[in-house]
Structure 1
Amino acid sequence: MRTAQRAARRRMSPSERRQQIVTSAADLFDEGGYTSTTMDDIARGVGLAKPTLYHYFPSKDEILHAIHEEFIDLLINRHEQRTATGLGPEQLLLEVMADILELMETHRGHVRVFFEHHRELPSSEREAIKVKRDKYEQFVEELITEGIRKGIFRETDPHLATLATFGMCNWAYQWYRAGGTLRSREVAYQFWNYLVYGISASSASPTS
């Protein structure tokens, strides 16, 4: 078994190896925390000698940056591809919320790192990630603004509504566990329902 695993590792391309390191490190940071996890831990996690690990990532900071970049790029790319499909702002808002919550299942370590460890990024990398964070936030604010303009959403502060959207989704990983009574997309739909229709009986959606 170990021989087969070593052979599979040898067949990896450099990009596949980097991806393996990033994924493994994200899981380790999720389990043990960024500060407590060492490059030795990461090397053991992917079955590499420590000097080989340094060949791909010269520092733990660079791995942290790669995790942040991969996570925000996933969100941005999914949204940009979806906007070309002609979906309305209300559906796009639901999908934004679903993206964040579904990544709790597929990229749990990335989620925790992104929301808890951005301050540990070196200043230049932190600024680069902030630019992408702001870009994604602007996407959401623009679709809420469009929904207001089209009469789909009532008149409200688009920026505050955007913050409310992220406020519901971004910290759900603290309590959400896969295998519970609701899947992540079902949680996203409930959050979307609360945001769009509220929880008042008089304003409940027809599908509630």
Structure 2
Amino acid sequence: MATRETEAGSATGSRADEQRQRILAGAVAVFSRRGYRAASMNEVADQVGLRKPTLYHYVRTKQDLLVAVYEEVLDESLASARRIVAGAPSAREAVRGLIVERVRYTCEHRDLLTICFHEESALPPELAAPILERRREFERVVRDAVTAHLRETGRTLPMSVGTFVNTCLGAANWTYKWFDPAGPRSSRQLGEDVASVLMGVLEG
């Protein structure tokens, strides 16, 4: 049975986590609107209705917020990719599901992806390295699914697996630039469309 001290500590931790998520969401709004370099911590504090000293209680620097944005996108993407592969009835369906989900996520989180695609050069090498490793791990999940499909079916690609995977991810990621939320196709429907085109290469 939890003690009152344990329960209080857990509640305090939960509130702190919620506050950090509010701050991160505020930073995403400011960075995507103003650009990371032009944005200030004052603007982030104003966005979430906090005084600047209170903001610094939860996050030390603007750079820490940028790193947190990358970590959120890549951690969510990697966890989702692993779930899709684990739950797919075949490697083919895993590849298709990965493409559909990548398009859906990109279209529904364009503010996050705008930051990730535009601001990578703002990260110093020591902070960029673990983020790049997360990205490589996500790409490995996709590459392994493609390789498994080729092995299961005996098919070959007219290019290297790495080139095919990068083409798929490039096509999916670029939708953040042109997807219209008010358009005739939902983010998932667009994902299905993109997957159909790319799977045609894989299965041709």
TM-score range, shorter chain: 0.7 to 0.9
Q: Name segments (4+ residues, structure 1) moved above 6 Å.
A: none
Amino acid at match of 1:61: Q
Q: Report if the CA contact (8 A) 1:104-1:111 is conserved.
A: yes
**More moved, 27-36 vs 59-68:** 27-36
Q: Determine the C-alpha separation between the residues in 1 that align with 2:178 and 2:140.
A: 27
CA RMSD of aligned residues (A): 1.9
Displacement of 1:70: 0.4
Q: Report if the CA contact (8 A) 1:29-1:113 is conserved.
A: yes
The gaps in structure 1 that reach 5 residues or longer are 1-11, 204-208
Displacement of 1:89: 2.0
Displacement of 1:122: 2.4
**Is 2:200 the counterpart of 1:197?**
yes
Displacement of 1:143: 0.6
Equivalent in 169, 176, 181 of residue 178 of structure 1: 181
Deviations 1:97-141 (A, max 9, x none): 222222235432211112221221122111010000001111111
What TM-score, normalized to structure 2?
0.86
What TM-score, normalized to structure 1?
0.84
Q: Identity percentage over the alignment?
A: 25
Between Structure 1 and Structure 2, the one with more helix by share is 2
Q: Determine the C-alpha separation between the residues in 2 that align with 1:93 and 1:86.
A: 9
Equivalent in 134, 148, 157 of residue 132 of structure 1: 134
Deviations 1:61-105 (A, max 9, x none): 000000100000001111222222243222222222222222235
The number of aligned residues is 189
**More moved, 63-72 vs 25-34:** 25-34
**More moved, 65-74 vs 99-108:** 99-108
Q: Report if the CA contact (8 A) 1:90-1:147 is conserved.
A: yes
Q: Determine the C-alpha separation between the residues in 2 that align with 1:150 and 1:62.
A: 44
The gaps in structure 2 that reach 5 residues or longer are 1-13
